[in-house]
């Protein structure tokens, strides 16, 4: 879990540790508990998330795109270009849409995702990368594990929800995102995907 926060520039080890504990507390809170109730840490912790979440938003808005990454867009094959253009049209013309990209290992799905992230971020827009597991998240630039990004409860059963208030910085980040990529979504529990869908529907009032 700490790997997600190591990717944020400027964070000290103590800040990373605090954020990991805060995320654990957020998950526990979704089940009506508090991290201080379990004696996991030697002192009582108080969490005030707005400052950290605002910093996360700022870091997503200022992800540096280098020229070599933009050149990669020219290397897309014909099938990748079809998907690439379809997604961009949905982002900038239709303003909405959902795509499922499928294919055997080695067919260039990750390369396509990277091209989309680079293209949108190069325009100064927000493109969020997330994945179902840490290994997949480590491959995409500035990616986060889905449970961390969307505050998905660990003990999810279809009745609990992703607890992100509409007025929080994280909610505003999701609202401002032009694109959200969920790599290895097929590995996720169906209930998790439905919970995220409900979250985004609520945040976008759609």
Residue with tokens 């990277």: 114
pTM above 0.75, yes or no: no
30 pLDDT higher than 50: no
Look at residue 76 in the predicted model and tell me its pLDDT: 96
Q: Tell me which DSSP letter residue 93 carries.
A: I
Question: Please, which residues bridge with residue 144 across strands?
Answer: 130
8 Å CB contact between 153 and 30: yes
Distances, alpha carbon 4 to alpha carbons 18, 32, 122, 141, 168, in Å: 13, 25, 22, 11, 20
25 pLDDT higher than 80: no
Closest residue by Cα to residue 84 from 107, 113, 104, 125: 113
Q: Is residue 166 packed enough to be buried (19+ CB in 10 Å), middle (13-18) or exposed (0-12)?
A: exposed
Taking only the tens place, the pLDDT of each residue in 38-97 is 666 666 556 555 455 556 666 776 677 877 888 889 999 999 999 999 999 999 998 889
What average pLDDT is seen over the chain?
83
Q: What is the token pair recorded at 188? A: 């996720």
| DSSP H or E segment with residue 27 | helix 13-29
Mean pLDDT of 158-181: 88
Domains parsed from the chain with CATH numbers: 2-203 (3.40.50)
Residue with tokens 């055997």: 104
141 pLDDT higher than 80: yes
132 pLDDT higher than 70: yes
Taking only the tens place, the pLDDT of each residue in 148-157 is 899 998 877 8
Taking only the tens place, the pLDDT of each residue in 93-129 is 988 899 999 988 889 999 999 999 999 999 989 999 9
């Amino acid at each position: 879990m700490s790997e997600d926060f190591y990717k944020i520039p400027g964070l000290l080890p103590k800040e990373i540790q605090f954020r990991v504990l805060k995320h654990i507390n957020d998950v526990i809170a979704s089940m009506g508990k508090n991290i201080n109730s379990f004696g996991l840490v030697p002192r009582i912790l108080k969490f005030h998330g707005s400052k950290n979440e605002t910093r996360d938003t700022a870091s997503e808005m200022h992800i540096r795109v280098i020229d070599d990454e933009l050149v990669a867009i020219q290397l897309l094959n014909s099938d990748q270009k079809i998907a690439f253009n379809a997604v961009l049209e949905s982002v900038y013309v239709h303003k909405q849409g959902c795509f499922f990209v499928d294919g055997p290992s080695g067919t260039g799905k990750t390369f396509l995702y990277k091209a989309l992230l680079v293209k949108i971020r190069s325009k100064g827009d927000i493109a969020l990368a997330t994945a179902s597991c840490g290994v997949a998240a480590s491959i995409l630039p500035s990616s986060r594990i889905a449970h961390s990004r969307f505050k998905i409860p660990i003990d999810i059963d279809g009745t609990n929800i992703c607890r992100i208030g509409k007025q929080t910085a994280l909610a505003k980040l999701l609202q401002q995102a032009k694109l959200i990529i969920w790599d290895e979504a097929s590995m996720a529990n169906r209930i998790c995907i439905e919970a995220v869908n409900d979250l985004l529907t609520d945040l976008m009032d759609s």
